[in-house]
Amino acid sequence: GQNIDQPTEMTATEGAIVQINCTYQTSGFNGLFWYQQHAGEAPTFLSYNVLDGLEEKGRFSSFLSRSKGYSYLLLKELQMKDSASYLCAGTDSNYQLIWGAGTKLIIKP
């Protein structure tokens, strides 16, 4: 079957670093998305990884290991505004999106 797993909730401290993990099982695999969703707002695109390795975009980085079926989103220098849900989604062989249930990240002062 097709499945995306990510932790339900994480807590971190302002100014710190947090890593949100995502593991996937899809029938074929083409890439992995990360979206951010603040409460009551639209999910917004953060990153799309196709190749193995780390891609950095400012304070946010996304990592993919195709051989391990694993990805993570790394958030540095956490700010209160980073409190949100982070959605992981893999694309299968037909480029259909398989979504995780999201990780709610709580940032404490």
Partner 1 sequence: ETGVTQTPRHLVMGMTNKKSLKCEQHLGHNAMYWYKQSAKKPLELMFVYSLEERVENNSVPSRFSPECPNSSHLFLHLHTLQPEDSALYLCASSQTDGSGANVLTFGAGSRLTVL
Whole-number Å distance between alpha carbons of 42 and 46: 12
What residues between 15 and 74 interact with partner 1 by CB under 8 A? 30-31, 33, 35, 40-45, 48
Binding region for partner 1 (CB under 8 A) out of 18-26, 62-70, 74-82, 92-100: 92-100
Whole-number Å distance between alpha carbons of 107 and 76: 12
User: Checking DSSP bridges between strand 103-108 and strand 9-13, what pairing results, if any?
Assistant: parallel
Interface with partner 1 by CB under 8 A: which residues? Answer: 4, 8, 30-31, 33, 35, 40-45, 48, 87, 89, 91, 95, 97-102
